[in-house]
């Protein structure tokens, strides 16, 4: 059985760790920015402190989003393997640069370059999945690497708190650079190839299965840019990025400063929140293949997010409020997974990189969310209520966007059932 399933070793494992360590690099700042020594070293003090903290994520996500467009074109020319290695080299250097930063401005520059390097993550993953897996297993294939997207920060919160407590905030960045240099880059060098046809370890039987097509595959061969549902997903992803970054970046600070958690409690709630996201991803990976109704699932997830956020405002218990924020973040993790599934569904192996790059551009909204939440908090005297209300409104907009895709999705499911 293993001899005909090596694609899971050659591709799923490298991109799992690709995202596992990449998300610690990307989202670890949410934990590091609660460290008093870090704030003092970079001069993050004064009445505009929250806005300046929000700017750290803003500059990262803007460069990350813009570079997705660049990488999406390059990857279709250069190949997923070479693009991944190049990007990993860039962000390894930026981790070292961040650890050496002694001014706020220098740290901002490191985050901008990190965004440029990490911008290839979604295109690389989309390209590998599109080229290496049969379309009947896209949900499980996507879940295999998006699992790393959420398990990384879940364990990363524990790792970073320990490193900062025992060493220093700078050591956290140096250790993250080592993860990329000694784990991620060797995996892409020795395990992956751009296409299954290029890999000497793949059997003819497995290759035949990967290339097996059906009627639904033929329907997806048109250009993704001409499918209105792709643009609905694109709008939904704009909103999901706004929500996910806003919650995840500010969650540790919210727990410590608004709900009075100590570092230990903050660490635990933050880790559990990322595990919520992982559970939503696994459930969506299974249900999307089972029901063939990913748009309906995304609609429900946006509604759940609005409900969780609303209860977080009125919850009398700090623990319940923190868990509600974590569940809201988890629901958006499910939306992120479904959005990446749509990338592959609405594109071909030849256009998957560009489709993913254009979708990855939506991360730019995460930067705006982080900065606006910081600005609103400064303007409201440290309260998070106005920021959370803003996120509730965004959740309802996401729900409305996906409603326009439900009718056609239901019709496709009926046609599929009739065909089988």
Listed by start position, the domains of the chain span 1-210, 224-419
- The more confidently predicted of residues 351 and 207 is 207
Mean pLDDT, to the nearest integer, of 357-378? 79
Mark 226-263 as b/e (b = at least 16 C-beta within 10 Å): ebebbbbbbbbbbbbbbbbbbbbbbbbbbbebbbebeb
- Report the range out of 68-82, 275-289, 359-373, 387-401 with the highest average pLDDT: 387-401
CATH fold, domain 1-210, is: Growth Hormone; Chain: A; (1.20.1250)
The pLDDT value recorded for residue 352 is 63
Which of 59, 65, 220 has the alpha carbon at shortest distance from 138? 220
- Report the range out of 142-156, 162-176, 200-214 with the highest average pLDDT: 162-176
> pLDDT grade, residue 223 (50/70/90)?
low
The pLDDT value recorded for residue 104 is 92
Distance of CA 15 to the CA centre of its chain: 13
- In degrees, rounded to 5, the angle at the alpha carbon of residue 353 between the alpha carbons of residues 351 and 358 is 100
The pLDDT value recorded for residue 220 is 46
The pLDDT value recorded for residue 371 is 83
Tokens of 64: 């990350």
Which of 201, 61, 185 has the alpha carbon at shortest distance from 122? 61
The pLDDT value recorded for residue 231 is 85
- Asked whether the beta carbons of 325 and 312 are under 8 A apart, the reply is yes
pLDDT at 219 over 80: no
Distance of CA 127 to the CA centre of its chain: 16
The pLDDT value recorded for residue 181 is 92
Tell me how far apart the alpha carbons of residues 289 and 131 are, in angstroms, rounded to a whole number: 18
Average pLDDT of the chain is 85
> pLDDT grade, residue 17 (50/70/90)?
very high
- In degrees, rounded to 5, the angle at the alpha carbon of residue 251 between the alpha carbons of residues 16 and 95 is 50
- pTM for the predicted model, two decimal places: 0.74
105: Cβ contacts below 8 Å, ≥ 6 apart: none
Least confident of 44-48, 231-235, 324-328, 385-389: 44-48
- Report the range out of 38-42, 265-269, 339-343, 387-391 with the highest average pLDDT: 387-391
The pLDDT value recorded for residue 26 is 78
Are both 1-210 and 224-419 of the same fold? Answer: yes
- The more confidently predicted of residues 210 and 140 is 210
pLDDT at 76 over 70: yes
- In degrees, rounded to 5, the angle at the alpha carbon of residue 276 between the alpha carbons of residues 270 and 278 is 110
- The more confidently predicted of residues 290 and 191 is 191
Tell me how far apart the alpha carbons of residues 296 and 353 are, in angstroms, rounded to a whole number: 26
Q: For the chain, what percent of residues have pLDDT higher than 90?
A: 34
The pLDDT value recorded for residue 420 is 63
The pLDDT value recorded for residue 221 is 46
> pLDDT grade, residue 323 (50/70/90)?
very high
The pLDDT value recorded for residue 35 is 87
Tell me how far apart the alpha carbons of residues 214 and 137 are, in angstroms, rounded to a whole number: 13
DSSP for 353-401, please give it.
HHHHHHHHGGGHHHHHHHHHHHHHHHHTTT--HHHHHHHHHHHHHHHHH
Which of 374, 254, 237 has the alpha carbon at shortest distance from 322? 254
pLDDT at 72 over 60: yes
Mean pLDDT, to the nearest integer, of 14-36? 86
Distances (CA, A) of 329 to 137, 230, 291, 334: 26, 23, 23, 9
Distances (CA, A) of 189 to 88, 146, 235: 11, 21, 35
Distances (CA, A) of 100 to 109, 159, 313: 12, 20, 39
Tell me how far apart the alpha carbons of residues 132 and 102 are, in angstroms, rounded to a whole number: 44
Q: Locate all alpha helices (DSSP H) within 167-262, ordered by sequence.
A: 169-179, 185-190, 204-210, 215-219, 228-253
Tokens of 146: 């998006």
Tokens of 88: 């990993």
The pLDDT value recorded for residue 312 is 94
The pLDDT value recorded for residue 93 is 93
Least confident of 285-289, 298-302, 308-312, 344-348: 344-348
Question: Of the CATH numbers 3.30.1490.20, 1.20.1250.20, 2.40.30.10, 3.40.50.1000, which one belongs to the domain with range 224-419?
Answer: 1.20.1250.20
């Amino acid at each position: 059985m293993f001899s005909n399933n090596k694609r899971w070793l050659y591709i799923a494992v490298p991109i799992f760790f690709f995202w596992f360590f990449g998300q610690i690099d990307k989202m670890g700042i949410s934990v590091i920015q609660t460290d008093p020594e870090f704030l003092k070293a970079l001069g993050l003090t004064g009445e505009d402190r929250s806005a300046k903290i929000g700017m750290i994520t803003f500059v990262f996500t803007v460069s990350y989003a813009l570079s997705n467009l660049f990488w999406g074109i390059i990857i279709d020319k250069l190949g997923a393997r070479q693009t991944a290695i190049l990007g990993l080299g860039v962000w390894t250097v930026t981790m070292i640069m961040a650890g050496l930063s002694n001014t706020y401005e220098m740290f901002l520059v490191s985050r901008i370059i990190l965004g440029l390097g990490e911008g290839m993550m979604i295109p690389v993953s989309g390209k590998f999945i599109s080229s290496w897996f049969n379309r009947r297993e896209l949900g499980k294939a996507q879940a295999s690497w998006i699992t790393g997207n959420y398990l990384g920060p879940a364990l990363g919160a524990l790792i970073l708190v320990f490193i900062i407590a025992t060493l220093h905030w700078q050591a956290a960045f140096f250790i993250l650079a080592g993860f990329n240099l000694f784990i991620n880059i060797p995996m892409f060098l020795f395990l992956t190839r751009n296409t299954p046809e290029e890999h000497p370890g793949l059997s003819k039987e497995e290759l035949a299965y990967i290339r097996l097509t059906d009627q639904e595959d033929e329907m997806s061969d048109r250009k993704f840019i001409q499918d209105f549902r792709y643009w609905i997903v694109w709008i939904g992803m704009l909103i999901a990025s706004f929500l996910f970054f806003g919650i995840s970046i500010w969650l540790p600070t919210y727990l410590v400063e608004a709900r009075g958690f100590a570092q230990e409690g903050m660490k635990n709630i933050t880790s559990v929140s990322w595990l919520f996201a992982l559970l939503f991803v696994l459930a969506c990976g299974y249900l999307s293949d089972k029901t063939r109704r990913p748009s309906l699932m995304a609609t429900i997830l946006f509604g759940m997010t609005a409900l969780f956020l609303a209860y977080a405002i009125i919850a009398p218990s700090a623990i319940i409020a923190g868990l509600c924020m974590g569940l809201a973040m988890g629901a958006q993790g499910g939306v992120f997974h479904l959005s990446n599934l749509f990338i592959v569904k609405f594109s071909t192996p030849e256009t998957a990189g560009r489709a993913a790059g254009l979708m990855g551009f939506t991360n730019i909204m995460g930067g705006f969310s982080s900065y606006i939440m910081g600005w609103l908090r400064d303007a409201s005297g440290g309260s998070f209520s106005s920021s959370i209300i803003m996120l509730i409104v965004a959740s309802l907009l996401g729900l409305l966007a996906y409603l326009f895709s439900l009718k056609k999705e239901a019709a496709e499911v009926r046609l599929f059932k009739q065909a089988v």
